[in-house]
Structure 1
Amino acid sequence: MDDVFKQMTNSFFSPEIQGCLSVVESVAGYKLGASDRQPFLYFHNYLTNPQPEFITAWRDEPSQEKWYHKFANGVLGDVQNTLACVLYHHDRLVEIEREVMEGIEKYNYRQVLGNSTVGLGNTLIWDFEYQAFILAVRRCLDYLARAVSTYFKNDFHSFRRLGDFLSKQNKPLVTTRLIELHEKYSAEFDFVLSEGNRKSVRDKISHYEYGKRP
C-alpha cells in the first residue's frame, strides 16, 4: 500500500503532471481576489478553530451529518464558487466595454454624428455576458439563503424571503443581526428579485424575454 501511495505521489508531483495542471488552470481556472476570499477564510476558521459544538454533534451523528456538509459546502463551495462566477462575468462586461470604447475612439464618430445617434449593431456577446451575470447574481443569493437556512436544519432557499424565514426561528442571538443585514441590503438586489407584479430583470430573462444589457 505504501509503494502504491508513493508511486501516486511521485506521479502527481512529476513535471509532466504539474505542467498539465498548470495549463488547465491557466486556461480554465479563476481565483477570487484576496479581499473577496477573506470572508470565506473567516468562515473556514469558524468551522475548524475550534470546531463549534453543534458541528461536532452533527458530524458524530450519521443522521445529522448531512447538515454539516450542506452548511460547510453551501458557503465554501456553492456560494464561494458562484460569487467567483458573478465576478468573472462582471470582469468580462467591463473588459468588453473597455475594448469597444477603445476601438471606436479610433474613429471620428462624434463629428460625423453631431447631435444624432446610431445603434451599436451586433452586440450579442455583450448581451450574453450581461444575462449570465444577472442569472449568476440570483443563484449566488439563493445559494447563500440555503446555506444560512441549513444552520437551522432547513432547506429554505429564497433570498427574497430570507428575513421572514429567520424571523420565525427561535434563536434571536443568531437571527437578529442577519435579519438587520437582510433588510438593509436586500433592496440593492431588486434587479434580480421580483416583488408582487414587479418582474425583476432576472425573471424577465429567465421566463419572458431576451434580455439586452442596459
Structure 2
Amino acid sequence: MTRVTAVYKPADYPGTPEQAATAGVAELFGYLFPGKANPEIDAAHLGVAVTARNPMLALNLARMSGFVARDLGWCQDQKLHELAVQAVNQHFGCAYTLRARAARAASLGLGPDVLAAIPDGGASPVFSETERLVVTYARAVASGNVPAVLFAEVAARFGETGAVECTAAIAWWGMWAMIINALCPDGA
C-alpha cells in the first residue's frame, strides 16, 4: 500500500485540481503516452505514479529517467547499467524495484545467481572484471563512501566522462529507491 494516493491515470488526480495542476496532469500524461486516448501508468512505474501527486515533479523525473536510461553514454551498455541498478536497489532494500526489474535483468543475462552474488561486493566468479568493478562502485556510491583508489579504477576503465555518467546513473536510481521506499514501503 502506498502512503499517498498514486495517480495512474488523469482521473486519479485527487480533488478538483486548480488550473495549473490540471495543465500539469495533461502535460505529464501527454509526455508519457503521446497520442494515447486512455493513458495509464502501469504498476511497474509506481514511482512515477506516486510522484504524480505533483505532476510537474513527475514529468521532470520521467524526462530525466528517460535520459539516464536511453541517452546517457555510460548506460548504453545495458547489462552494466542494469547491474548498477540492481546493486543500488539491493543496497537500499528496494524490494519493489528489484521485483519490477527482475525480468529485465534476466533478459540481459543477470539471472538469480548473478543477482544473489551482488551483496558479496562483486567477489563472486559469476562477475567479469568490469562487472565486479561496477558492483563494487555502485555499492560504494550508494553508501556515500567512495575510496579514491576505487574512483581512479572506474575512471581508468570508463574515462572521466564515463565515471561521471556512471556515478550520476547510480545516484539517479538510488534517488528512485529512496522515493519508493518512503512512499510505498511495502511496494504495493
TM-score bucket of the superposed structures, by smaller chain: under 0.3
TM normalised by structure 2 equals 0.27
TM normalised by structure 1 equals 0.25
Return the index of the structure with the highest Cα Rg. 1
